[in-house]
Amino acid sequence: MTTKILNGKIAFVTGASRGIGKGIAIALANAGAHVACIATRAGNANDVVTTIQAKGGKAMAFGCKVEEGGAVAATFAAVKEHLGPVDILVNNAGISKPQPLLEMTEENWNSHMDINAKSVFLCSQAAIRQMKDAGNGGCVINIGSIVGQNAIPQTLSYCTSKAAVEHMTRVLAVECAKYNVRVNCIAPGYIRTEMIEQLAADGKLAADAIEKRTPQRRMGSVEDIAAAVIFVAGPGAGFMTGETLNIDGGWTAYGYL
Ligand code: NDP
């Protein structure tokens, strides 16, 4: 029997109820991890937990608004009690609500910075405290975006929050190497999820044009991102920290018409 590369590791995945986070949670469980599946309400993550358990994996659903420090602390305590101290944190929860600059509200700005960026500080701090106390090292993977490096009109709050996630990755990596904790960022290109379907339905994203501009001529799948997470979380990436991996079908590399 082959040993699964993340056998018995405790993984904490935010935004695990659907889309990219759901794909990551399932892939981590397939690799042998026990997965805490986080969504705004525990009930939203029941479906992914059932899917994992049906395949013989171990998972539990927890409700937590990742931008609320008290809720984050309580959820990490509950995960430690029920599953054990966290070895792998995936900061995936996020929102994208484009608004033109001249109409952008303070609420829009604050919600992106809180849910997409402040949550990375709060969850990383809570997770790395557990990793340091347990003494086994650990791994934090932040889900950024290629728009943290590439400017898209009408998305100032979203792009800025994702640029913050990428730089937080570097600062956390250099500060926490002494605890044997690696911190990396995966920056997806356009991935077909409810977030993208909703933006397209609202006329805020042109799916055809995006596919044409992408050298691989398609949007990514949640499995494309989940596969990168398994690599970064695994022993093959043991000397990798403070890095951002773009998984975008060549979108960022492309510089022609
Ligand atoms: P979805 O909108 O499909 O899913 C978002 C997830 O985040 C849900 O599980 C949702 O939980 C959770 N969530 C939202 N707000 C909060 C909150 N305040 N507290 C806790 N959980 C919350 O998004 P995607 O799967 O498309 O995106 C996942 C991540 O990937 C995001 O960070 C996004 O920015 C990033 N990304 C996505 C790209 C894409 O093309 N799809 C491209 C680049 C980056 P609930 O069910 O409870 O609402």
Q: From CA 12, how far away is CA 25, in angstroms rounded? A: 9
Q: Which atom of ligand 1 is found nearest the CA of 96?
A: 34
Ligand 1 pocket test, pick from 12, 18, 65, 192 with the greatest ligand atom count within 8 Å of Cβ, gives 18
Q: How would residue 169 be classed by pLDDT, with cut points 50, 70 and 90? A: very high
**193, 215, 89: which is closest to 143 by C-alpha?**
89
pLDDT, averaged across the chain: 97
| Average pLDDT, integer, range 111-136 | 99
The CA-atom distances, in angstroms, between 205 and each of 135, 191, 209, 210, 257 are 45, 12, 9, 8, 19
The pLDDT tens digits of the residues spanning 30-46 come to 999 999 999 999 999 99
**Residue 1 pLDDT greater than 90, yes or no:** no
Is the pLDDT score of 243 beyond 90? yes
pLDDT for residue 71: 98
Residues 6+ apart with CB under 8 A from 239: none
Ligand 1 in reach of 62 Cβ (< 6 A): no
The finding on whether 149 has its CB within 6 A of some atom of ligand 1 is: no
**Which residue among the candidates 158, 179, 254, 256 is catalytic per the annotation?**
158
Model confidence at 250: pLDDT above 80: yes
| Mean pLDDT of the 147-172 span | 98
Domain ranges of the chain: 10-243
**pLDDT-based confidence at residue 57 (cuts at 50, 70, 90):** very high
Nearest in space to 90 (alpha carbons), one of 53, 127, 45: 127
**Ligand 1 in reach of 115 Cβ (< 6 A):** yes
The residue behind tokens 């998972």 is 59
Q: Is the pLDDT of residue 69 over 70?
A: yes
Determine the distance separating the centroid of ligand 1 and the alpha carbon of 113, expressed in angstroms: 14
- Mean pLDDT computed over 172-201: 97
**Known catalytic membership, residue 256:** no
Residue 44, pLDDT score: 98
* Closest ligand 1 atom to Cα of 198: 2
Residue 116 and residue 94 in contact, taking contact as beta carbons nearer than 8 Å: yes
The whole-number pLDDT of residue 2 equals: 66
> If you classify domain 10-243 with CATH, what class do you get?
alpha beta
- Say yes or no: CB of residue 233 within 6 Å of ligand 1: no
Mean pLDDT of 44-71: 98
Give the position, in ligand 1's atom list, of the atom nearest the Cα of 19.
25
Cβ contacts of 45 within 8 Å, gap of 6 or more: 16, 17, 37, 38, 39, 61, 62, 63
For the chain, percent of residues with pLDDT exceeding 70: 99
pLDDT tens-digit series, residues 90-110? 999 999 999 999 999 999 999
pLDDT classification of 3: cutoffs 50, 70, 90: confident
SS3 state at 225 = helix
DSSP letter for 203, please: T
Task: Calculate mean pLDDT across residues 199-212.
Answer: 95
